Structure 1
């Protein structure tokens, strides 16, 4: 009797394995059959979306605007801290809302739309509010922007992992970031000279943010129209947020390289303590009018554009660990240049190196995370990384603002260099290339 039961169980297991293999094969076939359509959809979404988001996230326009309306380094730091605070919890919430779903596109549209409305709120606040009310509204919009961008990061990273094969992700990001960066670089130069300098429509910064809102919205509409999403062969069972939080230690402990990768992310994010103060430091050293803001934004975004092609193809060829190493080294070099070389040409070069380095860091960190562990845990793994980054990024700008106010910008930059050096050391000594481990 026991032998018969055992035979029945074995047969059922074989049937289940065969069925799973069939579903895996069907899933893989769907991905390749719809690759061209999904590639174009992801490309347009990334190109147009990142164009607008770069105008908001570049270390030029928004820090300069916040400083102009508040007159305080601490407020600049607080605003950036609130943006990151929004991204602390929302990735985990977002992951628990989608990891059990076979289709996540509806959630992507909601999260993406709400994030774009936060940018629109920044634009409208500049036109209709003044004084403390304007500062308060901008701080609120930054918090909301962080909340919805944190959740969006999980959803859109998962979408890309579902529809773009691992061997094509680098070149997709390269071309969408490069063309988006080209548009953003040109628009940054136009915004500085023709929007901000003459205070177009009564507030040049609001005009710039409105353009960012329009561009990002077009990108989201393109993705909604074009993307065809497959249903994965397996998904996790739905769980409460509290229960998933308890799984975090096991999720990290099961892969030591991933655990060290998280530490690298947190240290590199801590180095952003200095990022919003680069442009303020330039203003102190040589002055920074609207034309200078546009020129340095052009340098930052233009280098981002050109370097993406190198980072993407290099990542596809070697894996993204090398990209991460090179980008951190470049980040260190840019900071040292800004601290020690105060000629306009060198300052322009430092913003270009910074743009290229941050571009490489973002591409490498967001792509490597897709290659650790198994597919069913991917949403939560993305969320853990996003939350870990946001925790350190929340405190960084806030502390940086206070330190800059009391001790000056040099101390903030030196702290940033210390974090980057520690991140590079751990990356080189403890994090292996995940793609090579998968191949092995």
Structure 2
């Protein structure tokens, strides 16, 4: 018995020494890692926001097909790809002491799809261009789902929980500021003038260049060796079978899982914001630039506020406030019929949607233990991406047979249900024994 107690005490002492060394390294390298993540965000997020903004890609697909269902199909393919790959991405890294190699590999594969989308837009037209867009958007989503898991795991290792809000807010502010200007110029001068023979293709190529420069900044990250990982690589099907047990263990994580899925269903309306506005105002290149600027600039400025709230009050409050703002802006969009009202609505949509993205991607980092984190991220990502895949398809079906307003009202209901679910969650930071410097 004494030998067992001595052995347990020795293990605890070794773990304590390892934990102190780990946290010392995190603090020592924090300025370098903070700067690398900030630089990556300033350029990488700029390109990705051009791809994710509810303007250029939906407008490009609609210009090719003149079909609302095609817009839903193309955006649904992207998020279906994300849903299929998140858990697989977790199985690739949860047994690894370091994840930087996987971050690079997946990141470049993701960017390759933007490059292929741009080339296909330059050289193809009509039905073939539409098919290529669906394929490359699906692959973009597939590798994006993996990147979402591995990148968040990396951030959880090198950025303490009390510093993440400031990083994310500042990163999104600076990256979004650049993205807002690029989006306006893209609409005004690339799409508006049909630059290089295809304005949309030129915009996608610009997104590829910016994201490629951004990922290079991550080469400066110094990643510590993980304190604890799974003993061996996991089988994909085995990890799928573990999901129900994971949801039963922590009621608050389960509520977050459902809330994020419900809010993700609320994104069914996002691709149709610009098409609805197009019923009342002409969607010229300049107008696309104005709407993109309103959506992205509001996302940009609000991220400083969301980051501050996250560090001081937690991501639970960010989720509640941002989704509430998103709901209010959706109601304003429904009531609008003129360019000024739509621009105000797009500002609210951008700020609310941006805050929801910040909260949904980072709230999960505060649940569970470090070695559980890859699967916790992957499971919530999978639910969210699956709903975001079904959402545009559902929205396209409703838009075809009814009206855009029906999509917006349905999305509003889903978002309010998500707010009610998160309201019941106890903030993980207030739990006894939370590791603040995970």
- TM-score band, normalised by shorter chain: over 0.9
Q: 1:426 aligns with which of 421, 426, 429?
A: 421
Q: Could you list the runs of 4 or more consecutive aligned residues of structure 1 that deviate by over 3 angstroms after TM superposition?
A: none
Counterpart in 1 of 2:398?
403
* CA positional deviation for 1:89: 2.1
Matches within 5 A, 1:41-440: 41-224=36-219, 226-238=220-232, 239-428=234-423, 430-438=424-432
Distance in 1, Cα, partners of 2:21 & 2:330: 49
Q: What secondary structure, in the 3-state scheme, does the structure 1 residue paired with 2:431 have?
A: helix
Unaligned runs of 5+ in 1: 1-5
Q: What secondary structure, in the 3-state scheme, does the structure 2 residue paired with 1:432 have?
A: coil
Distance in 1, Cα, partners of 2:227 & 2:105: 25
Deviations 1:212-253 (A, max 9, x none): 1111111101112x1000002211122211221121112111
Distance verdict in 2 for CA 1:439–1:15, change over 3 Å: closer
Distance in 1, Cα, partners of 2:203 & 2:430: 43
What TM-score, normalized by structure 2, do the two folds share?
0.97
Distance in 2, Cα, partners of 1:147 & 1:415: 27
Q: What secondary structure, in the 3-state scheme, does the structure 2 residue paired with 1:108 have?
A: helix
Aligned residues: 433
Deviations 1:353-407 (A, max 9, x none): 1111111111111111000111110000000011010111111101111110111
Distance in 1, Cα, partners of 2:275 & 2:433: 46
Unaligned runs of 5+ in 2: none
* CA positional deviation for 1:341: 2.0
* CA positional deviation for 1:96: 0.5
Counterpart in 2 of 1:3?
none
* CA positional deviation for 1:439: 6.1
Distance in 2, Cα, partners of 1:143 & 1:15: 51
* CA positional deviation for 1:438: 4.7
- CA contact 2:280–2:338 (8 Å) conserved in 1: no
